[in-house]
Structure 1
Amino acid sequence: MSIPVAFVAASVIEAVAIHFLVPWQWLRVVLLVATVLSLIAIGGWLAGRVVHPHLVSARTVVFRSGTGIRVEVDRSRISRASMVRRFGETANVIVDDRLVLPGPDGTVVDIDFDRPLSVTLPKRLSKGSRSTLIGGLRLHVDQPGEFCAALSRD
């Protein structure tokens, strides 16, 4: 969460600095509009994470990242869920046969499947073909301990 907060703080500081440093009114207005639009984009990105959360039910788990990625897995296919903090990736990507669904500060949970799972992903992740085999997931959740405990319950 620290990266979006840093962007918001920088945008607010930028808006104040523009007001004092730019002498032309028309340019101040244009830059202020650009700043407000960037703040709206950051807010929309954060709202997408809240509106489309990961879901754990009695039989299945749904892993989501915004509206573009949705992976539904039967709970019996999950062999292990562990808390592992990683800062390397901050964008959706496939690394070492794992689908990475990070938050702004990386990932906090690793999930292994009992065997590779075929999933449908956006073209930018699947390298041409829509269906991709993954052996697990790395993802960000707000409360990793509770999430791992919910996955381990029968």
Structure 2
Amino acid sequence: MTDSRLSGVVRALGRTAGTALPRSVVALLRRERDGLRAIASLVRGRKDVPAGATAIPCGSAQKTFLVVMMVLGPVELVLVDLLVPWPWLRVVLLVLAVYSTVWMLAFYAGVHTRPHYVDDDRLVVRLGHLVSVSVDVGSVRAVRRENHDRYTGAEYRGLVTVTDDFVAVPGMSGTTVTVVLEPATPVTVQGRGTVRVAGIRFDADALDAAVTAIGERVREGGEQCRES
């Protein structure tokens, strides 16, 4: 079977699953699929960033945590084998341990291969393959370094937080970059459709470089508008 036919079969199966399964199950399966794709991209050394876009590295804290957890995985398996007397339970725990290790590897791969990026059209903020938030660069009014610690005030819940005022994609400790938008700007949030907010908050590894990259694209867009 050729690659094009195989891709057609996969898309057909996806459409069938989308109509036959509950929406939450379909979303979970898509995340698992995207995780496997991220692992494949990691193995191939590829980054999911469009040509001409500026990548904004992120997730160093998450990656460090995931590496530690994956290293501890074999130790947990040894302890399970030594401490759990029931063979059936050892098998169950082994399967769960293998699945969790693959999930963590997929998360690591997603964070590594899918950084934030900005191009002439859009700013895209991501957390691996699990979260994607995008907005038109022309709607950006300002960008600045600004800390919002999730443990001392910022009410961030889960991987992405949507309020009446902003969308936040926090890192391990919170957010460090704030993008100010035009009031009621449409922002596309993966899994939630379009919301209207006045700002986006996210975390980045190199804060000054992130602010500079976004600011340059905004200025370039403004100059192009004036020229046209």
Provide Cα deviations, 1:28-52, integer angstroms capped at 9, x if missing partner.
Answer: 2321221111011112122222332
Pair 1:132 & 2:158 matched: no
Tell me the distance in 1 between the aligned counterparts of 2:126 and 2:209: 18
Q: Is the 8 A contact 2:131 2:159 kept in 1?
A: no
Superposition pairs for residues 25-64 of structure 1, below 5 Å?
Answer: 25-64=87-126
**Counterpart in 1 of 2:175?**
107
Tell me the distance in 2 between the aligned counterparts of 1:50 and 1:72: 22
Cα gap change, 1:104 to 1:36, in 2 (>3 Å): farther
- SS across alignment from 2:179: strand
Q: CA deviation at 1:146?
A: 1.2
**Counterpart in 1 of 2:85?**
23
Tell me the distance in 1 between the aligned counterparts of 2:68 and 2:160: 21
| TM-score, normalised with respect to structure 2 | 0.55
Tell me the distance in 2 between the aligned counterparts of 1:121 and 1:97: 14
Q: Which amino acid aligns with 1:47?
A: A
Q: Which amino acid aligns with 1:150?
A: A
Q: Is the 8 A contact 1:61 1:75 kept in 2?
A: no
Q: CA deviation at 1:58?
A: 4.2
Tell me the distance in 1 between the aligned counterparts of 2:86 and 2:178: 52
Q: 2:142 aligns with which of 65, 76, 79?
A: 79
Tell me the distance in 2 between the aligned counterparts of 1:96 and 1:6: 36
Return the structure number with greater helix share: 2
Q: When the two structures are aligned, how many residues end up with a matched partner?
A: 149
Tell me the distance in 2 between the aligned counterparts of 1:26 and 1:36: 16
Cα gap change, 1:15 to 1:78, in 2 (>3 Å): farther
Higher mean C-alpha displacement, 97-106 vs 74-83: 74-83
Identity of aligned residues (%): 26
Tell me the distance in 1 between the aligned counterparts of 2:131 and 2:108: 15
For the pair shown, the structure with the greater C-alpha radius of gyration is 2
Tell me the distance in 2 between the aligned counterparts of 1:132 and 1:9: 39
Question: Unaligned 5+ residue runs, structure 1?
Answer: none
- SS across alignment from 1:79: strand
Cα gap change, 1:12 to 1:83, in 2 (>3 Å): farther
**Counterpart in 1 of 2:159?**
91
| TM-score, normalised with respect to structure 1 | 0.76
Q: CA deviation at 1:74?
A: 1.4
Return the structure number with greater strand share: 1
**Counterpart in 2 of 1:118?**
186
